[in-house]
Each structure stands twice: as structure tokens, then as C-alpha cells.
Amino acid sequence: MRVGIEAQRLYRKKKHGMDIVALELIRNLHAVHTQIEFVVFVKKGEDNTCLNDVKGIEVIALPNAPYPIWEQLILPWAVKKYKVDLLHCTANTAPLFLSVPFLVTLHDIIYLENKTGNSSSFYQRFGNYYRAWLVPKIVKKAVAIVTVSHFEKKNIDAYFNFKDGFVKCIYNGVGAHFKKINDEKQLAACSFKYKLPDKFIFFIGNTDPKKNVIGVLKALHLLKKSGQLQYKLVMPDINIQYIQSLLVTIGAQDIMQDIHILPYVPNTELPAILNKASIFLYPSLRESFGIPLLEAMKCGVPVIASNTSSMPEVAADAALYVNPLDSNSIAKAIVELSINEPLSIQLVEKGLARSQFFSWQHNATETIQLYQTILANSHKRLKQ
């Protein structure tokens, strides 16, 4: 059995959500099943050593090309050349024409729901248009669809009118390097490198409206006006001009001094920052899973999360929930954690326990079981 894994963006230097999911899946596939041959298809990029420590995996770095051209032309050619029996496309989209069966991971269908507006960047808008055009076509050709939460499975089933069983929910995991760190020298080095404040809220946002950056800034402004702002807000990898423009929009320029913006932080360095944080804030408008919730929990940080979409499913009773559309709700939760130490300790304990429920090894095991089922069914059809 020879399984191809599409991981187009894995060699890019700045990895985000879906890239991390693909990387962790690939890291665990061969460890779980050594009898399957795995071929990973990536686009050439700067970080071409990120899979060097993964055994039993053949990596094929294909030429650079714009995303649609790479996916629709170069990838099908490579699938045929390297003689794979099944292709797993890991990031919402897939080629329209393939010579082998394929399954696709639909992390979400937000681009079809259009619930978060259209004020994101050009790159994000182009990606959404491409996915909105392509996904309804490829789901008709896929032999299976994987998604990452029962919340998202329900959305996909309802949108495409799928019969129950076609879409399989396989939970994401959380990296083993996310953990409590007791090495004070390591924590001090991280603080020095990123010039971290003594007390801070860690918030991962970007220009995608679903991340609710404006809601967080409004909450911060409310706390500032009421004299209850005890923390700096630390945000990685976000454009300072974007933040400044939002502050002008809401009339809150005075809180710029309370915001500390970091450069892009490699995933391997996030645990130390989380270990230094007082609160992890995750009031997104819409998430299909929310890996950062688990990363923060494993690092022993109390979590504030939205009471919407997949977040209650993932975090269970290990987070303090807010209405993400209500900045007062976000602000009150921050105050509550700052004054209620027993609640904060309880959330940390529950978070550490909850995060143990999710692992990439389990994710890989379930994924391989799906591969085997697909190929077994394919062989049965060929015999008939």
C-alpha cells in the first residue's frame, strides 16, 4: 500500500494551523504503521529540514507554482509518477482530476458560510473564493471526507446533505513539546528574546475577522477606562499598522501602549511564551477545532474561550466561556481570572487533564484505519 500525503505548504517558514496539523500527522504515521509506504508531496521552500527527523517517509519537493496551478496540475502529475494508491489532501482542497482515489480533510467550510464578512486580506479573500468554487466539486469525487470536530461534521453534513458516515470526525492532537516548563533559564531566555512583560494575556489573532481582534481591543479599552487593566496584551505575528487602524476605528488609541506585538514565533518556541502568560485569550467568532486552546492548557495557562462553534466541544469544562460578540463579556472574564485565584487554579488543573485526551498518535491511528478501509473497499470493487 502506497499512500500519498499532500502537504503543499509544509516547507514554508511561517507555519500556521493546517500546516501544523499536516506536520504532526506525518510525524506520527510511520510510527503507528510501518507496513504502509508514505509519500509526502510538498512545494519547495525555506524550511526544507522540518521532516528530516521523520523516519520511513519519502518526501517529494515539487516545483513552486501558484497554489491552484500546483494543486491542479503539478500534484496530479506527481501522484501518477510516484505510483501512489491513495492520496490524502490535508488542507480543504484537492485536484479535480486524479488517477487514484482521494480523501480530503475539510477543516471547515467557513468560506461557504460567509459568516465572518469580507474585510480580510486579499490573500485570504482569494483563498476563500478558490475554496468556495472548488470544494463543492471535489466533495462529489472524494471517497471520504475527514473533519476535525463533531461541530464541523454536522455543518458539512447539513450543507452538502451527506448521509451520516461519509464524513469522519478525527480530532486534532496537541504537540508533545507543549508542557509545563520548570527550567527558569529557558523561561528567562524566552522573556529576554521576546521582551515579554511581567504579566500578560496571550492572544493569537490575525486579519481574518473570525479571530475577533476588534472585540479583544474593545474589551481591553473597556478595562483601561475602568482602571481594571492589569495586563499587557501580547500578540504574535500581526501587522502593527493593522492594529493601529482598528484602534482608530474604535477610538482606543490610548491602549496601544498596553499592546506588545511579537514577530512570528515558531511553534517550537510557543510553549515557553505560554508558560509565562497569565491568561490565554481565545474569543474567536468561529473555529472548527482550536488547537491553541489545548496548547495553552498543556502549558498550565487558564483559558478564556468563546461559547460558540467547536470550542465548548474541545475545551469542555476547562475554560471560562464568553460571548465573543460582547466585549463586556470578554472584559468581565479577564477581570474574573485576575481576582479569582481559586477559579484560575481550577481551570489550570482541568485544562491539564483535558489536554491529555487529544494526541497526534491517536489522530494518526484513526487516519490509517480510514486509509485501510478505503483501499480494502477499492480492492473489493475491482474484484467485482
Q: Are residues 348 and 364 in the same domain?
A: no
Spatial CA neighbour of 284 closest among 209, 181, 194: 209
pLDDT at 113: 82
Which has more pLDDT, 294 or 112? 294
Q: Are residues 166 and 19 in the same domain?
A: yes
Mean pLDDT calculated for residue range 350-379: 92
For the chain, give the percent of residues with pLDDT over 90.
Answer: 83
Residue 308 CB contacts under 8 Å (≥ 6 apart), including other chains: 284, 285, 286, 324
Helix ranges (DSSP H) in the chain: 17-32, 67-69, 75-81, 110-113, 122-138, 150-160, 184-194, 213-225, 240-250, 270-276, 291-298, 311-315, 327-339, 341-355, 360-383
pLDDT at 120: 58
CATH number (domain holding residue 139) = 3.40.50.2000
Q: Are residues 151 and 72 in the same domain?
A: yes
Which has more pLDDT, 269 or 114? 269
pLDDT at 383: 53
Q: Are residues 161 and 280 in the same domain?
A: no
The answer to whether residue 314 sits within a structural domain is yes
Mean pLDDT calculated for residue range 233-241: 95
The answer to whether residue 383 sits within a structural domain is no
Q: Are residues 150 and 211 in the same domain?
A: no
Long-range contacts of 185-189 (CB under 8 A, 24+ apart): 186/272, 187/272, 187/275, 187/276, 189/272
Residue 54 sits at φ, ψ, to 5 deg, of -95, 120
Contact 203/235 with Cβ under 8 angstroms? yes
60 beta partners: 41
Q: Are residues 114 and 208 in the same domain?
A: no
The answer to whether residue 79 sits within a structural domain is yes
The answer to whether residue 178 sits within a structural domain is no
Q: Are residues 211 and 348 in the same domain?
A: yes
Mean pLDDT calculated for residue range 182-207: 95
Residue 118 pLDDT greater than 70, yes or no: no
43-47, 124-128, 141-145, 336-340: the lowest-pLDDT one: 124-128
Q: What is the separation, in whole angstroms, between the first and last Cα of the chain?
A: 20
Mean pLDDT calculated for residue range 344-364: 97
Residue range(s) defining the domain that contains residue 305: 184-355
The answer to whether residue 179 sits within a structural domain is no
pLDDT at 16: 87
Residue 290 pLDDT greater than 70, yes or no: yes
Q: What angle is formed at CA 42 by the lines to CA 40 and CA 45, rounded to 5 degrees? A: 140
Which has more pLDDT, 221 or 34? 221
Residue 73 pLDDT greater than 80, yes or no: yes
Residue 344 pLDDT greater than 90, yes or no: yes
The answer to whether residue 85 sits within a structural domain is yes
Which has more pLDDT, 279 or 121? 279
Q: How many domains does the chain have?
A: 2
Q: Are residues 66 and 21 in the same domain?
A: yes
Residue 245 pLDDT greater than 90, yes or no: yes
Residue 347 pLDDT greater than 80, yes or no: yes
DSSP string, 155-192: HHHHHHTPPTTSEEE------TT-S----HHHHHHHHH
Q: What angle is formed at CA 203 by the lines to CA 197 and CA 207, rounded to 5 degrees? A: 125
Residue 121 pLDDT greater than 80, yes or no: no
pLDDT at 117: 47
pLDDT at 379: 58
Mean pLDDT calculated for residue range 147-154: 97
CA 227 to CA 239: how far, in whole Å? 27
Residue 52 pLDDT level (bands cut at 50, 70, 90):
confident
Q: Are residues 211 and 129 in the same domain?
A: no
User: Tens of pLDDT along 206-217?
Assistant: 888 899 999 999
pLDDT at 273: 98
Residue 59 C-alpha cell reads as 518526501
Q: What angle is formed at CA 135 by the lines to CA 131 and CA 137, rounded to 5 degrees? A: 135
Q: Are residues 349 and 364 in the same domain?
A: no
Residue 2 pLDDT level (bands cut at 50, 70, 90):
very high
Residue 185 CB coordination number (10 Å) = 7
Q: Are residues 278 and 366 in the same domain?
A: no
Mean pLDDT calculated for residue range 64-91: 96
The answer to whether residue 295 sits within a structural domain is yes
202 beta partners: 234, 280
Residue 56 pLDDT level (bands cut at 50, 70, 90):
confident
CA 307 to CA 275: how far, in whole Å? 24
Burial letters for 328-341: b for 16+ Cβ neighbours within 10 Å, e otherwise? Answer: ebbbbbbbebbeee
Residue 234 sits at φ, ψ, to 5 deg, of -105, 125
Q: Average per-residue pLDDT in the chain? A: 93
Q: Are residues 345 and 368 in the same domain?
A: no
The answer to whether residue 325 sits within a structural domain is yes
